[in-house]
Homo-oligomer: A and B are copies of this chain.
Amino acid sequence: MSETDGEKVVSINDLEFENKVSITGAETPLKDLHKPKEKKEKPTKTPKEKKEGVVHGGSGPAGGAKKKEVKKESGLGLAFKKEENFGDWYSDLVVRGEMIEYYDVSGCYILRPWSYAIWEFIKDFFDKEIKKMGIENTYFPLFVSEKALTKEKNHVEGFAPEVAWVTKSGDSQLEEPIAIRPTSETVMYPIFAKWIRGHRDLPLRINQWCNVVRWEFKHPTPFIRSREFLWQEGHTAFATKEEADKEVRAILELYRQVYEELLAVPVIQGVKSEVEKFAGGLYTTTVEAFIPTTGRGVQAATSHCLGQNFAKMFEIMFEDDKGERKMVWQNSWGLTTRSIGVMVMIHGDDKGLVLPPRVAPIQVVVIPVPFKGIDPSDECLKVVHQLQQADFRVKADLRDNYSPGWKYSHWELKGVPLRIEIGPRDIEKKQVRVVRRDLEDKAVGRSQDIPVADLVERIGEILDEMQKGLLERARKERSSCIATAYNWDDFMAALNNKKMVLAPWCDEVAVEENVKARTKCEGDGGGAKTLCMPFEQDTLPVVQDPLPEGIKCFASGKPAKKWALWGRSY
């Protein structure tokens, strides 16, 4: 119980947490702080009351005297600060925000309903879009024979070290080991060779939503790098390179939409270097996100033109309209659950998750603030009903064993975009208080009283504002993290200042490998690599294409061929 200025406020200080770690083998053993011991808390009554404060639990600009209380509410908050200890902050957040549960097989994580629902929003959006484009869903097997897996040499070299092998069933040894798909090129393309005969069988465009396994030995991180992950993988074949090229970019645009329009994460589109492109492919396009807190880029999704390499290996031929046998042109493209982790890293803060409205499983939580024996639960349900009718995802938290303040913190931790508080005073005034998750406590517009009559319209507007606001803020921050460097010293300075660096480059494999090696020693974290050669974009500082004449590569001093965006990365 806490009283400040002689005034009772919602209590959260007396919550007790059970510390119990029951899952072994988690990479980041975390105390399980997020499950409060059940405790029947009666709505508290105190001699002195200040209505506004009690009604709204001390949050928002209206309750100036309650700022101290706001701090107390963060007792339910996270154990680490984002700026101070990013890694622990993130691991703590995904667990306590109820997105992830750790698991006893290293590198594997449980996607809880709160994160899986986000994946479902992404799926629904992307699935609808590719179906409009005429792409059909399929399901190919989890297993791939050694023979098929090893057919394309560059490809298998890229994946072989990470392939998991099944060698036993029950107590019996299998005749030959069978691989678990790390990706499905080698699973699907023998069948493409069967399905494609003539030009009328083209284009062949399929997609699947599935799990894949890459037994990586790098440090695993929930969503960002795990040994099993969920994704979609599209695989297509065309008669001409032009059609393939066109699709590569159309899909990349959808990936941009997923990140920017759903997850409110700004991305840079570009093409990968020879070193970084997909093993066995012709060229790889990418959307690259950036985590300002750590100064690291993160490959957000990739759309590959495979050229004719796989077609050659798997003999995927067609007869054109003149009767000539030709090889097809192929693409593959994938988007994974990593996207959820990128969103968490970008928007999360010291209070918890911040979910963009379009992917929030609950967009609005309605919390009754009882006072003087008056329980506004019925009014809360009415508001829920009103908003549900208008297709908002809304929920009332009417639990009687938690105080309003505890609930505020809980739903802030979970990242729900808006909370509506309803107290007796609000009922009298036919209004509710709406509080935005994404704005700072003191920010104008964070908290506003809205007449019930205008609620549906205003909630829609506020959610739209928030969706846009999150992207804009992230874009501004991201843009401030792009430096331009024309020489090595400037490059290193920017890199060590947690920036991405746009630099003129000679586009030689040896030079990229050399930069990677040199930066590994000089900076903290892994070596820097090319994130991409960005396509011309308004959101980036000057990318001039073609380069002004005579410009040299920042690293080799040879004539520069293009702008490349460099950075440390996940």
Contacts and interface: CB of A to CB of B under 8 A. Distances in A.
Interface of A: 18, 20, 22-23, 32, 35, 37-38, 101, 103-105, 108-113, 116-117, 119-120, 136-145, 147-148, 160-171, 177-178, 180, 190-191, 193-195, 197-200, 206, 210-211, 213, 215, 228, 230, 319, 399, 401
Contacts of A138: 110-113, 116
B178 A169 contact: no
Contacts of A143: 105, 108, 228
The dominant DSSP class at the A interface is: mixed
Given A167-B165, A170-B160, A170-B161, A190 B104 contact: yes
5 contacts: A101-B191, A116-B137, A116-B138, A120-B137, A142-B228
Contacts of A112: 138
B165 A104 contact: no
A247 to B, nearest CB: 17
Contacts of A148: 104
Contacts of A168: 164-165, 167, 177
8 smallest beta-carbon distances between A and B, as pairs = A169-B215, A113-B136, A108-B141, A38-B198, A111-B139, A161-B170, A165-B168, A105-B143
Contacts of A230: 139
A23 B170 contact: no
A161 B199 CA distance: 47
A29 to B, nearest CB: 13
A399 B32 CA distance: 62
Given A117-B136, A190-B22, A194-B32, A103 B141 contact: yes
Given A22-B190, A163-B169, A164-B169, 12 more contacts: A18-B197, A23-B190, A23-B191, A105-B141, A110-B138, A119-B139, A162-B169, A167-B167, A168-B177, A169-B215, A200-B399, A200-B401
A106 to B, nearest CB: 10
A110 B170 contact: no
Contact of A141 (B110, B136, B177): B110
A210 B211 CA distance: 8
Nearest to A18: B197
A393 B230 CA distance: 29
A166 B164 contact: yes
A256 B24 CA distance: 41
Contact of A137 (B23, B113, B197): B113
Nearest to A39: B198
Interface-centre pick from A35, A136, A141, A213 (highest chain B CB count, 10 A):
A141
A319 to B, nearest CB: 7
B139 A116 contact: yes
Nearest to A211: B142
